[in-house]
């Protein structure tokens, strides 16, 4: 060895032979992304990033000891390096005739004083956030000649049923102003892009495209018999399908430029993610990602070291002395994302709802740098696949129940589709809307855009869902939907450069207790930590108006999925940072995990915060035993007391840190209160939907009673009791039942149930005897029906976040609940 030459690892053959670690070619035969074999899964082509303190001099750079190794290269291959000079990426070394044992994964890395950091790259499992289903044909008036324009119900108010809420992301008024995404560049990080599709080609941008699976500039997807790699093309089509070309449909930003990053069709490593996230950051404005760690209800994973640096590179004024690869199609890497204004990262919140997953365990959606987007169905409900978390910022439409329409887009082989689904479909719609805002005001910073999204998103079209609360700044927020449904017109109007004032400089205030000692937590136990803070008052980083709040915590626990964590602000806003996850049996706990919330946006952080960590197993078991007694059934419990270890949980919280992000003064647009107006201002017979604002939750200690939106009815106060009044959970069910009377939903079996008479709607409901004399007991039986109709593969999901159905675990809410309630009504009548 000469000097401090850095070596990569020698790569052994796998047990059994075969090069299964390398992604296959586009003709087929490649390994699917999403199969993880773990950190010890060494294989050919695995990159080995290394950081040195300073770039070598030009003379040293010409020397053999400091030569940059080719990226992901193999013997005999010469590939262009895009690694900054002081960040060498060494490729694996393996002689053609070399045979090594699989138990000998690493030959050597000659570490000297010039090496600061090195890390073996391993395969990551990444899931595309799509779903299933077919679509109905829904006629509507023509605005464009594109054959599927009529099926794009989410871009126009084309309700096919009088029971549906208004369906509109309000993009048409923006288009009518001539704002269609011109001059804005979006790239889709996914499994490739069929850029020669006739509905995409005119808007394709090669400078926003790259193939990190095959390491070439062409992101074209690999075809196979199952069309597995259609995901990226569908997402890109939602954004930039050409308008009025008699092909497929119309993109939200149909004059924007779109590119594709092929990175999911093969082995996904931290280096590949970082290269994709940081690709050509001076050229690309918006990165749209509809993937993430497995939505299986048991995974806890976030960006690796390199990917995190890539986010920071796109957002902050960071130097290129970082750890990751940056590729630029046209020019050397200089500057930062969008010329210093910050890249826009749009992320799908996840499809793990049926598995009881929680996107607070997804470090991509839980990042302060990403705009996490959830989904709402055509009926204005949280879909069965949607996850709940405190980091979701806003919502766009997508698929719902099997009877609901889905999302229209381009598809592989120059085809079209009406069946794009899941949060995968919501994130590109949001990216397109943000492109409209950036055309209106190219000077918006990444934080400007987040503020505008928070301030203009609408809760009213989603108000029939439980969980809404008004935070201390007067903003409506929900763990299912963030601050509500995106409103393109309101968003673009607020972004008007003639009136918009940039938000003040971002401040960071960290609160910790250096004297904190680890505290024990046992089964059915709770740890409560009070955190008084002046929010760095009197310092240069003082915060008066909050943006993101993070709790960085390290927790040891025997069963991670039994933990439930909440954070209550000085204004009384309680946020669920972590809901329990039935499938998460891991004993790994959390190590320096950042739990992030946007629910206290705009609040003054000064005062006492309360962090609570609870073991939920005993509470869950008690609820189920109580429910069995009430209903006189032999329902099998999902958390048997006899299960090994379930009631013997123990662990401790090792450390915590409260991280406050915000500004020293209130942003200009927040100096006046947020005014919520009814999304559907005109109530008409065709629609026949009533507001459900009584389900709004307000902070426990209101300093001043916030003005509530107008209500269509006033139920009796829940504090009044009578012998016939149901319990609090039944009250919530009865309210949902009232919403059901105003909807059209087919029964699960048999003839359709009798509809409620029109006179019923005109009378305020009586909680003691609502719904045609239905006893509260019947409502619990209706829940049993939901459980019965769900298969055994469905996960039981106890919703602690908003206390809905507190007396019984229930399957993740979808239309089956309303269908079961309708059947109960039909049986009674």
Per-residue pLDDT tens over the stretch 61-101 = 444 433 333 333 333 333 333 434 344 454 443 433 444 44
User: Residue 614: is its pLDDT beyond 50?
Assistant: yes
Alpha helices in 220-304 (DSSP H): 231-240, 270-277
What pLDDT score was predicted for residue 48? 62
User: Residue 725: is its pLDDT beyond 50?
Assistant: no
Q: What is the pLDDT of residues 467-520, one digit of tens each?
A: 999 999 999 999 999 999 999 999 999 999 999 999 999 999 999 999 999 999
What pLDDT score was predicted for residue 51? 66
Instruction: State the average pLDDT over residues 624-639.
Output: 34
pTM of this structure: 0.69
What pLDDT score was predicted for residue 160? 60
CA distance 669 to 671: 6
CA distance 431 to 438: 10
Residue 678: pLDDT band by 50, 70, 90 thresholds? confident
What pLDDT score was predicted for residue 23? 36
User: Residue 319: is its pLDDT beyond 70?
Assistant: no
Q: Which fold has domain 507-664?
A: Jelly Rolls (2.60.120)
Instruction: State the average pLDDT over residues 411-416.
Output: 97
Q: Enumerate residues 6+ apart whose C-beta is below 8 A from 430.
A: 346, 371, 373, 394, 396, 486
CA distance 811 to 799: 9
Query: Which of 94-108, 113-127, 155-169, 519-533 holds the top average pLDDT?
Result: 519-533
Residue 781: pLDDT band by 50, 70, 90 thresholds? low
What pLDDT score was predicted for residue 164? 64
The 3-state secondary structure of 160-227 reads CCCCCCCCCCCCHHHHCCCCCCCCCEEEEEECCCCCCCCCCHHHECHHHCEECCCCECCCCCCCCCCC
What pLDDT score was predicted for residue 524? 87
Q: What is the pLDDT of residues 345-377, one digit of tens each?
A: 999 999 999 899 999 999 999 999 999 999 999
* E-state strands within 616-745: 650-663
**DSSP-derived secondary structure for 495-555:** T-TTT--PPPPPEEEEE--TT---EEEETT-EEEEEEEE-TTTTSTT--SEEEEEEEEEEE
What pLDDT score was predicted for residue 125? 74
Q: Enumerate residues 6+ apart whose C-beta is below 8 A from 562.
A: 580, 615, 616, 617, 646, 649
Q: What is the pLDDT of residues 648-664, one digit of tens each?
A: 899 999 999 999 999 99
What pLDDT score was predicted for residue 154? 93
What pLDDT score was predicted for residue 255? 98
CA distance 524 to 414: 57
For 131-494, CATH number out of 3.40.50.1100, 3.40.50.720, 3.40.50.200, 3.40.640.10 equals 3.40.50.200
CA distance 376 to 386: 8
- pLDDT > 90 fraction of the chain, expressed in percent and rounded: 54
What pLDDT score was predicted for residue 385? 93
Residue ranges of domains in the chain = 1-123, 131-494, 507-664, 723-828
Q: Residues 233, 200: contact at Cβ < 8 Å?
A: yes
What pLDDT score was predicted for residue 379? 87
Q: What is the pLDDT of residues 33-71, one digit of tens each?
A: 333 334 444 444 555 676 665 554 444 444 443 333 333
- Of the ranges 483-487, 597-601, 720-724, 784-788, which one carries the lowest mean pLDDT score? 720-724
Residue 123: pLDDT band by 50, 70, 90 thresholds? confident
CA distance 17 to 8: 21
**pLDDT greater at residue 48 or residue 524:** 524
**What is the set of active-site residues?**
190, 231, 424
Burial class (CB in 10 A: 0-12, 13-18, 19+), 87: buried
What pLDDT score was predicted for residue 204? 99
Residue 778: pLDDT band by 50, 70, 90 thresholds? low
Q: What is the pLDDT of residues 733-751, one digit of tens each?
A: 555 555 544 443 333 333 3
Tokens for 308, please give them. 């995190």
- pLDDT > 70 fraction of the chain, expressed in percent and rounded: 59
Q: Residues 549, 610: contact at Cβ < 8 Å?
A: no
Q: What is the mean pLDDT of the chain?
A: 74
What pLDDT score was predicted for residue 12? 37
Alpha carbons within 13 A on the beta-carbon side of 657:
12
Torsion of CA 430, 432, 437, 443, to 10 degrees: 100
Residue 331: pLDDT band by 50, 70, 90 thresholds? very low
Instruction: State the average pLDDT over residues 245-250.
Output: 97
448 DSSP assignment: H
What pLDDT score was predicted for residue 590? 98
What pLDDT score was predicted for residue 416? 97
Q: Residues 639, 646: contact at Cβ < 8 Å?
A: yes
Beta-bridged to residue 128, according to DSSP, are: 291
- Of the ranges 215-224, 554-563, 726-735, 804-813, which one carries the lowest mean pLDDT score? 804-813
Instruction: State the average pLDDT over residues 109-116.
Output: 55
Q: Enumerate residues 6+ apart whose C-beta is below 8 A from 88.
A: 6, 49, 50, 51, 52, 68, 69
Residue 119: pLDDT band by 50, 70, 90 thresholds? confident
**Can 131-494 and 507-664 be said to share one CATH topology?**
no
């Amino acid at each position: 060895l000469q000097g401090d030459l850095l070596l990569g690892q020698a790569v052994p053959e796998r047990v059994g032979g075969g090069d299964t670690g390398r992604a296959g070619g586009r003709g087929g035969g490649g390994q699917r992304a999403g199969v993880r074999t773990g950190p010890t899964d060494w294989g050919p082509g695995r990159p080995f990033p290394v950081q040195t303190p300073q770039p070598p001099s030009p003379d040293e750079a010409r020397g053999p000891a400091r030569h940059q190794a080719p990226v992901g290269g193999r013997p005999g291959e010469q590939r262009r390096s895009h690694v900054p000079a002081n960040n060498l990426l060494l490729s694996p070394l393996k002689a053609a005739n070399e045979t090594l044992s699989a138990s000998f994964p690493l030959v050597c890395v000659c570490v000297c004083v010039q090496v600061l950091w090195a890390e073996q790259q391993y395969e990551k499992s990444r899931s595309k956030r799509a779903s299933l289903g077919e679509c109905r044909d829904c006629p509507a008036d023509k605005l464009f000649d594109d054959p599927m324009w009529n099926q794009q119900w989410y871009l126009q108010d084309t309700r096919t049923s009088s029971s549906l809420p208004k369906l509109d992301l309000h993009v048409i008024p923006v288009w009518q102003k001539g704002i269609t995404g011109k001059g804005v560049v979006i790239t889709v990080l996914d499994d490739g892009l069929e850029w020669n599709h006739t509905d995409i080609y005119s808007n394709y941008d090669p400078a926003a495209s790259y193939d990190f699976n095959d390491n070439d500039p062409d992101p074209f997807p690999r075809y196979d018999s199952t069309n597995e790699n259609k995901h990226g093309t569908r997402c890109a089509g939602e954004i930039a399908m050409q308008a009025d070309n008699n092909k497929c449909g119309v993109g939200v930003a149909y004059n924007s430029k779109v590119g594709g990053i092929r990175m999911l069709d093969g082995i996904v490593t931290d280096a590949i993610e970082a290269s994709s996230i940081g690709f050509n950051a001076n050229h690309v404005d918006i990165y749209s990602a509809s993937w993430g760690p497995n939505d299986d209800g048991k995974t806890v994973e976030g960006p690796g070291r390199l990917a995190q640096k890539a986010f920071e590179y796109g957002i902050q004024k960071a130097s290129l002395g970082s750890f990751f690869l940056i590729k630029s199609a046209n020019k050397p890497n200089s500057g930062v994302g969008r010329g210093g204004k910050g890249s826009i990262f749009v992320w799908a919140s996840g499809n793990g709802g049926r598995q009881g997953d929680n996107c607070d365990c997804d470090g991509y959606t839980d990042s302060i740098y990403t705009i996490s987007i959830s989904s709402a169905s055509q009926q204005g409900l949280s879909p069965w696949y949607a996850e709940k978390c405190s980091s979701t910022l806003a919502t766009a439409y997508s698929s719902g129940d099997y009877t609901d329409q889905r999302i229209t887009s381009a598809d592989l082989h120059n085809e079209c589709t009406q069946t794009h689904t899941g949060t995968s479909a919501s994130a590109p719609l949001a990216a397109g809307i943000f492109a409209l805002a950036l055309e209106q005001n190219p000077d918006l910073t990444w934080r400007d855009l987040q503020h505008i999204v928070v301030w203009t998103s609408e809760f009213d079209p989603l108000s029939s869902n439980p969980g809404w609360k008004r935070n201390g700044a007067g903003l409506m927020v929900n763990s299912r939907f963030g601050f509500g449904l995106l409103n393109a017109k309101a968003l673009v109007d607020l972004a008007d450069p003639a009136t918009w004032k940039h938000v003040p400089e971002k401040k960071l205030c960290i609160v910790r207790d250096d004297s904190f000692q680890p505290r024990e937590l046992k089964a059915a136990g709770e740890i409560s930590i009070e955190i008084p803070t002046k929010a760095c008052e009197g310092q240069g980083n003082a915060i008066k108006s909050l943006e993101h709040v993070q709790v960085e915590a390290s927790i040891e626990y025997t069963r991670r999925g039994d933990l439930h964590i909440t954070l209550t602000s000085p204004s009384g806003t309680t946020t669920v940072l972590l809901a329990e996850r039935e499938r998460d049996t891991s004993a790994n706990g959390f190590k320096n995990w950042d739990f992030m919330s946007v629910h206290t946006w705009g609040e003054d952080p000064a005062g006492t915060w309360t962090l609570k960590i609870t073991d939920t197993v005993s509470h869950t078991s008690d609820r189920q035993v109580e429910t069995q007694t009430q209903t006189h059934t032999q329902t099998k419990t999902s958390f048997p007391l006899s299960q090994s270890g379930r009631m013997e949980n123990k662990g401790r919280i090792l450390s915590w840190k409260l991280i406050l992000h915000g500004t020293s003064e209130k942003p200009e647009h927040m100096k006046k209160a947020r005014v919520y107006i009814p999304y559907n201002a005109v109530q008409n017979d065709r629609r026949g939907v009533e507001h459900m604002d009584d389900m709004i939750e307000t902070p426990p200690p209101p300093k001043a009673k916030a003005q509530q939106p107008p209500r269509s009815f006033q139920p009796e106060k829940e504090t009044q009791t009578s012998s016939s009044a149901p319990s609090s959970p039944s009250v919530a069910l009865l309210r949902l039942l009232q919403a059901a009377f105003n909807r059209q939903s087919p029964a699960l079996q048999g003839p359709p149930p009798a509809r409620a008479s029109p006179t019923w709607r005109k009378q305020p409901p009586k909680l003691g005897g609502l719904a045609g004399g239905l006893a509260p007991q019947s409502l619990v039986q209706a829940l049993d029906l939901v459980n019965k109709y769900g298969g055994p593969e469905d996960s039981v999901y106890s919703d602690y976040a908003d206390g809905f159905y507190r007396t019984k675990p229930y399957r993740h809410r979808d239309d089956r609940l309303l269908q079961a309630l309708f059947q109960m009504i039909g049986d009674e009548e």
